[in-house]
Structure 1
Amino acid sequence: MNTTTLRTSMDIRIADTRVEMGRLAASDIADALRKGLQQKSHLRIVLAAAPSQSEMLSALIAKPYIDWSRITAFHMDEYVGLPSDAPQRFGNWLRKVIFDRVPFAAYHLIEPGDDPAAASRQYASKLAEAPIDFVLLGIGANGHLAFNDPPANLEDPLAVKEVELDEICRQQQVDDDCFATISDVPRKAISLTVPTLLSGQRLFCCVPGANKSAAVKAMVEYPISGEWPATALRTHPHCTIYLDRESSARLNR
């Protein structure tokens, strides 16, 4: 595997391909989980649900010597208004990809129901029961973190909230083959806020693909701003970014 470490204010690792990127990230995450479980009896992690995370999650669940029975999982966003059995729901995607494939101590799904505000408060309460150890995330084509589309509040006082999805974000869901047309994509979702995501002790961010190259350039090189929410990752002391050749193509080397 050929990888490059980019020397910037961020810890950025670049692999040749999307698959290699996933394997590289999974290896680092597995090491962190094992070390964390040596130091603590239980870990709490937050996972993104998106095709950009598929290669990493597939490689991660194949890693040996991870005691998943001592790990509790959360996810970071969910559509409002989709049926509970809709395959596009992120909780259902995560069930298929990882939650039903390894023996977590528990996993907590966001269930918007008929009262997204109440669901947000309930999920925030679960998250607040103990610190978050690791966050496994990506960024959107518009630079969003979870569903915090620009202009995002990087100092949001809420932990979880209902949000309105912008057109770039909704189109990305079509481009990722999650929905047939943009009219099928819900306009609202529940999302962990930027401060909640940054509260994790360590962050691991996988961003493959040419459609993310502009957002990657902004994340690394533009001023920290809610106009490009992913720039907030530069404020975190322990965030590792994983890119492939395509997503890193616009970076100054």
Structure 2
Amino acid sequence: MPVRINLLAEAIAAEEERRNDPVKRAVWIGGFCVFLVLLYYSTLLFEQMVVSSRLAEKNTEWSRLEPEAKNIATVSKNIREAADRLAALDRLATNRFLWSPVLNALQYTMVDQIELVKLSGTQTYTVITPPKEKKATTRSSARSSGKEKPASSTESIMLVLDARDYGPTADQNYNAFRDAIATSGYFKSSLQSEGGLRLAQLLPPSSDGAGAGRAFVSFTLECKFPEKVRH
């Protein structure tokens, strides 16, 4: 049989080995991955450009609407403050302290030998200003901060009774007068539970005139009503 000799077998084997080279395959795969990364980056860049364009449009629109929004916010704030003042005045008119029940109840507490010399009532208000909140640095914090707390005032009311006890010193009618006020239905329910009624001053016996003048003991009673906080 004739013997066939393939003189190109070595070249064909070398070419086949070159085609199956793993380094070449890795280069092709790496190039494809780089292409995918570049494609993804291009997509992100395009989306960023679109978002930036929309953001610029919104900023322009906000710049146009911002003065009007600030004006509306200022007007709304003024309306709320006016409404709060009207509500406070309405509460004050409805719940204000009336002196007529005090005088009416006082006339039923008088005791023999006691002469009321002076009656004075004090009604004071201590304004309490809430602490100022820090200005919000961002729009979100400004929305979450809420409206400011309104100022309030503490109402303090006291009735001061200056009187004279013309009875015998041993009778101590001023104590009877104090007890009559303490057991009065109105004063019992209206005065402070602690320290609402106290003998503020008790002077030594004296006379209202020279010679045959009547002797008396001057004293002062303080009736303190509970403090109320008004907004």
TM-score (ref. length: structure 1): 0.20
**Larger proportion of helix:** 2
Report the structure number with the largest CA radius of gyration: 2
How does the TM-score come out when normalised to structure 2? 0.21
**RCO higher in 1 or 2 (8 Å CA, sep ≥ 6)?**
1
